[in-house]
Structure 1
Amino acid sequence: MNFHKQPNTFVGQVDLKVEDIERSLTFYQEIIGFQVLEQTGRKAKLTADGKTTLLSIEQPENVTPKQQQKTGLYHFALLLPNRSDLVDVVQHLLQNGYRFGSSDHLVSEALYLSDPDGNGIEIYTDRPASIWSWKDGEVAMTVDPLDFDNLLQEAKGGSWRGLPAGTVMGHIHLHVSELPTTEEFYHKGLGFDVVCQFGNQALFMSTGGYHHHIGLNTWAGVGAPAPPESSVGLRQFSLEYPSVEARNKVLQQLKQLQAAIFEENGVVHTQDPSGNVIQLNVNTHAN
């Protein structure tokens, strides 16, 4: 499946603020299975394949704990290449006594946990796109119990080796303050299509017919404020556009919406209506 390659637009990297860099490094290496690609002081870039940064973590000066009922990260989601990889994660978490939740979403099977700062993490594997159920442009997704008996039949019996090299950032799910103008921003501005709605509380959006690259919800409360700059949580995430032309089109669309656009060290960013910062990249990786 090529939902995280050209010509699609997808989430490339998530950047988090944490309270204790050493504590977080231990967690992300020993529990999640990342490798450290680069570390400078209180900042580290984490990878699954030894080349590509999927997650960066940083301990800012005067960092403050994560606050509830704020916009920002609900979870970032790591997509594993094979169902057997998910079995490896289940067995690893059980062996380490680490608590996690789970769901069967029809399109995918997922595990849920939090890092030491309360940042949400999903680890999942997709079912084949050929069996996803679509009707009137919307894909059927649900929250059913995960069938662990069936899943564990895929067990290979090998030892834990961390995240497989084919792991990608599958999607990001955000708390936002409201949905109508947020939907307009992500659709008319950034170019994502609505593919599923949960009442008036959550939207799922994608490119290229994926079940979702972006999730948006108001579960922190309609009108929820953005967290303080010093707070633990999401610093930004990146979107990977297939070409310079595609990104330029998006920049024009954002200008028409009068959305914030700013450059930082030559890198283009925007900000959604709830204050979530998004880096707009051109995907230069070979596919």
Structure 2
Amino acid sequence: MTIDLTRRTLLQLAGASSLAMAAAAAARAEGVPQGGGPTYASRTPMRVGMVTLRVRNLGKVADYYRDVIGLTVMARSASAAKLGTAGITLLALEARPDAEIEPRNAAGLYHTAFLMPTRKDLARWLVHAASHRVPLSGFADHLVSESVYLDDPEGNGIEVYADRDPSQWQWSEGSVKMATDELDIPDLLSLTNTRVSDYARAPDGLRVGHMHLRVGDLAQAQNFYHGAVGLDPTRSRNGAAFLSSGRYHHHLGMNVWQSQGAGQRDDAATGLAWFSLVTEKRDILAAQEERLREGGAQMAQLPDGVEAVDPWGTRVRLLKV
């Protein structure tokens, strides 16, 4: 397939007339005030495992993650689907045909961030997205990474990104420097053939690099995800906080930009059902369980860990792998 992949084409897909507008859209997606090594995220003591979404139209949403992101459908029935790469489940979908769409001012999912193994993979994927005229909501250079933003058919946010090598990340007093600058599209696309799409499926090394949540109160969120779960703060700014394990730039983002004061989530609505944080270290899991118990968190025992519920009803599974 021959593709007319010009800067203009990409800007049209992002609904923007300039790179500055596209960066501004990405800034809104990351909440920036206007004006890593590819496997690093998975080598940390804790990392994101998988995500489960409740969806109204299972077929349509499953097809989207298969066709747009390139995930392999590993299992599918009338009520559920599992998708992933290299035999590893990254996304599970639960059919809820009668569910209400979760409002954007509720606590819940802001976006799921799929981390490409290499910058070239991100370039290949961008050619694929453009060739299929996939609507984009923004793209930006975050200094530590390069990102493209979009939404699935039911409004669940998605980020597709590639990390810069961690040696290029700038840390100061425990905080990592990030920004939302214009993405250098020509430089990115110079890594691949823009006239032919060769992205048939997601690369085997694709993982969920980080999760970004809407929460009702940042202090409460920090108390739960830092104080109890044990992720370390990496930076904060107006209305948002970012945490990670092992000095990754962030495994978890949290914001109150639309959801300040949000109450309990509706389990009958669409959106994030649960996500997992996994570790190979039994002592980390034991310490998490103890802190959650001491803090009075709602918990349920699982065969390989625990499921805890954050202050707004979002479920996080802490698992030993």
With the shorter chain as reference, the TM-score category is: over 0.9
- Contact map agreement 1:174 1:217 (CA 8 A) in 2: yes
Equivalent residue for 1:261, pick from 285, 299, 307? 299
C-alpha separation in 1, matches of 2:197 and 2:155? 30
Q: Residue in 1 aligned with 2:237?
A: 198
**Residues 184-223 of structure 1: matches in 2 within 5 Å?**
184-199=223-238, 201-223=239-261
Q: Does 1:183 align with 2:219?
A: no
TM-score (norm 1): 0.93
SS at match of 2:190: helix
| Stretch deviating more after TM superposition (256-265 or 236-245) | 256-265
Equivalent residue for 2:124, pick from 88, 92, 100? 88
- Contact map agreement 1:66 1:118 (CA 8 A) in 2: no
Q: Residue in 1 aligned with 2:59?
A: 22
| Stretch deviating more after TM superposition (135-144 or 222-231) | 222-231
Q: Residue in 1 aligned with 2:205?
A: 166
Q: Residue in 2 aligned with 1:106?
A: 143
**Residues 12-161 of structure 1: matches in 2 within 5 Å?**
12-49=49-86, 51-60=87-96, 62-100=98-136, 101-156=138-193, 159-161=198-200
- CA separation of 1:103 and 1:16: change in aligned 2, threshold 3 A: same
Cα distance, 1:41 vs. partner? 2.4
Q: Deviations over 1:248-274 (max 9, x none)?
A: 111001112211111367752001122
Q: Does 1:247 align with 2:285?
A: yes
Q: Tell me the percent identity.
A: 34
Cα distance, 1:139 vs. partner? 0.2
Cα distance, 1:61 vs. partner? 5.4
SS at match of 1:86: helix
Cα distance, 1:207 vs. partner? 0.7
User: Gaps (5+ residues) in structure 1?
Assistant: none
- Contact map agreement 2:45 2:281 (CA 8 A) in 1: no
Aligned amino acid, residue 89 of structure 2: T
Aligned amino acid, residue 106 of structure 2: K
- Contact map agreement 1:6 1:242 (CA 8 A) in 2: no
- Contact map agreement 1:74 1:175 (CA 8 A) in 2: yes
Aligned amino acid, residue 99 of structure 1: P
- Contact map agreement 1:67 1:227 (CA 8 A) in 2: no
TM-score (norm 2): 0.84
Q: Deviations over 1:13-33 (max 9, x none)?
A: 000011111111221111111
C-alpha separation in 1, matches of 2:299 and 2:233? 23
Cα distance, 1:6 vs. partner? 5.1
SS at match of 2:249: coil
- Contact map agreement 2:229 2:288 (CA 8 A) in 1: yes
User: Gaps (5+ residues) in structure 2?
Assistant: 1-36
SS at match of 1:94: helix
- Contact map agreement 1:109 1:126 (CA 8 A) in 2: yes
- Contact map agreement 1:178 1:218 (CA 8 A) in 2: yes
C-alpha separation in 1, matches of 2:259 and 2:304? 35
CA RMSD of aligned residues (A): 1.6
SS at match of 1:154: coil
Cα distance, 1:242 vs. partner? 2.2
C-alpha separation in 1, matches of 2:171 and 2:161? 20
Aligned amino acid, residue 57 of structure 1: L
C-alpha separation in 2, matches of 1:265 and 1:209? 29
SS at match of 1:103: strand
C-alpha separation in 2, matches of 1:22 and 1:7? 34
C-alpha separation in 2, matches of 1:266 and 1:128? 32
Aligned amino acid, residue 272 of structure 1: D
Cα distance, 1:197 vs. partner? 0.7
SS at match of 1:252: helix
Cα distance, 1:107 vs. partner? 0.2
SS at match of 2:40: coil
- Contact map agreement 1:15 1:57 (CA 8 A) in 2: yes
